[in-house]
Structure 1
Amino acid sequence: MQQDNEWNEPFTPSAEDLAGVDAWFAEYDALAARGAVEEIADLAVFPLNLATDVPGGFGAVAQWDRAEFVRVMTEVMGGGTAGMEMKSVRTPRFLTPNLVLVETEATVTAEGRRQSMRYADLLVRTEGGWAFQTMVQGGWGHGWPPATRG
């Protein structure tokens, strides 16, 4: 829903706004369960921004085009996440009617091993609906150069 918003007034999402974000993640989760990486890529805006950290205590950033996203996520997701038990609590924070940061606290159990994680996505509203444009999660930066200022 397109709405005008004064710069100095915080945006308060409606139930419809929140339901739209929930529906987007339901679609994403269903695709992830099947390992449908190409279809997941259809839910993104490229170039996709990534922020993570590298061993040694520094942040790292990258931009991926669609081909890079598909290559990496195919390696990461393998045949999908259906064999994993995933529990996620998502907290959307609308910056404007068209920009929402979604913090996720997730617990994944696979092969008897349980791991908790926290990550965030920036979703942007497009003509085709919500799309993710930025992914932020620690621990992905092995082999990435540390970020530098300036």
Structure 2
Amino acid sequence: MYQPSAEELKNIDDWFAAYDALAEEGAIEQLADLAVFPMNVATDVPGGHASVRQWTRAEYVEAMRQSMGGGTAGLDLRSTRAPRFVSQNLVVVETEATMTIEGQEHRMHYADLLVRTEDGWAFQTMVQGGWGHGWPSARRG
């Protein structure tokens, strides 16, 4: 099992700090610059089935515009992340987040796969429940 150094863990923390700052601003095109496309998205659909898709950059940007609007500033978003390095170039990051909207607290649990590219870290896969409304269910193969 790969054991990351303190500096590698800090690099992941720094990457997410930059991501979070862009998300607060609603800088969706810049967020897309931090990704590798096509992006894998795994979620679930009503009825208890999984759904997996690949998003183009345009699909990602549209989905983020719909979900983020003008950004996350003012949502009192708090995240705790647990990076798990698969290798020095692949890291799965589980996130537990709490967001407060109009006094209501909402909890989220999701994971991202970050891959090291020539330009640095980028996210390539998003895993989060509840995004699959209107999507076809995952196919068994």
Q: TM-score, normalised by structure 2?
A: 0.99
How many pairs are equivalent?
141
Deviation at 1:113, TM superposition (A): 1.1
Match of 1:85 in 2: 76
Matched with 2:139 is 148
Correspondence for 1:113? 104
Residue among 34, 53, 64 paired with 1:62: 53
TM-superposed deviation, 1:110: 1.4
Render the CA deviation track for 1:79-110: whole Å, top value 9, x for unaligned.
Answer: 10001101111000000000000000000001
Greater Rg by CA: 1
> Corresponding residue for 2:62?
71
Partner of 2:88: 97
Residue of structure 2 in register with 1:129 after alignment: 120
Identity %: 67
**One-letter code aligned to 2:63:** V
Structure 2: segments with no counterpart, 5+ residues? none
2:135 is paired with a residue whose SS is coil
Gaps of 5+ in 1: 1-9
Per-residue Cα deviation, 1:50-107 (whole angstroms, up to 9, x for no partner): 0000000100001001011111111111010001101111000000000000000000
Matched with 1:38 is 29
- AA aligned to 1:133 is Q
AA aligned opposite 1:11: Y
Deviation at 1:111, TM superposition (A): 1.2
CA distance in 2, matches of 1:59, 1:67: 23
For 1:50, the equivalent position in structure 2 comes to 41
Cα distance in 2 between the residues matched to 1:117 and 1:81: 14
What's the secondary structure of 2:77's corresponding residue?
strand
Secondary structure at the counterpart of residue 116 of structure 2: strand
1:138 aligns with 2:96: no
Following the alignment from structure 1 to structure 2, what is the Cα–Cα distance between the partners of residues 147 and 73?
22
- Indicate whether 1:15 and 2:22 are aligned: no
